[in-house]
Amino acid sequence: MWYGPVLKSLRSSSLFVEVSLIGAKVRASLSETLFLDIHFDPTTGSYSYALVDLTSPYSGDKRILGWDDCPNPAKPEPKR
């Protein structure tokens, strides 16, 4: 499964206090209220990431940062 190497890599890092599989996502906790969620979409082969802070004063979405590696068809890939 996709999450095996991800779990192993995150667990070998001293950055996270806990790394676990929750449903279809990997959660890497920095503290009790701050964590990184990693999702994999097998149809596109891409990952998405969200940094979540449960202490955020905003109601609803607690994501403070989110990104993915899926190509955006409206935006051309940068030339190397």
What predicted TM-score, i.e. pTM, was given to this entire model? 0.80
Q: Is residue 10 part of a domain?
A: yes
pLDDT of 3-51, one tens digit each?
999 999 999 999 999 999 999 999 999 999 999 999 999 888 889 999 9
Domain that holds residue 29: 3-68
Q: Is residue 20 part of a domain?
A: yes
Q: Is residue 57 part of a domain?
A: yes
Give the angle 41-79-76 at the CA atoms, nearest 5°: 50
Question: What is the total count of domains within the chain?
Answer: 1
CA–CA distance, 48 with 50 (Å, rounded to integer): 7
Q: Is residue 61 part of a domain?
A: yes
Q: Is residue 34 part of a domain?
A: yes
Q: Is residue 79 part of a domain?
A: no
